[in-house]
Structure 1
């Protein structure tokens, strides 16, 4: 299996990555929004941030 980040051979310990560094890079892509998962739920998409008046408790 090839590491999806650097294209080197993957290591069993970090599979599918070759190292902790590449695994951390991939995790960082999720955290910073580089990777996203699409949603079909209308509530998940907001044009404007909610104001306190718009919140329902």
Structure 2
């Protein structure tokens, strides 16, 4: 079915490039970006909430903070 104009169709590109899931390495999906599934998203959230992603502080930095 033609509308009278023979314009080529535009190429539609996704908003974000698909990246590997940070948990398992599978391709990420739009609904759970940047993860591949709800399971991987929940695993990451659990690590944040349990404090696994805390940045360790060296003894020198801890002592410097006490002097303030």
What's the TM-score, normalizing by structure 1? 0.62
Q: Is 1:25 matched up with 2:61?
A: no
RMSD: 2.1
Deviation at 1:10, TM superposition (A): 0.3
| Runs of 5+ consecutive residues of structure 2 not aligned to the other structure | 1-18
Using CA pairs under 8 Å that are at least 6 residues apart, name the structure with larger relative contact order, 1 or 2: 1
Structure 1 residue runs of 4+, over 6 Å off? none
Which entry has the higher C-alpha Rg, 1 or 2?
2
In the other structure, the counterpart of 2:53 is 35
Give ranges in structure 1 of 5+ residues lacking alignment.
Answer: 43-57
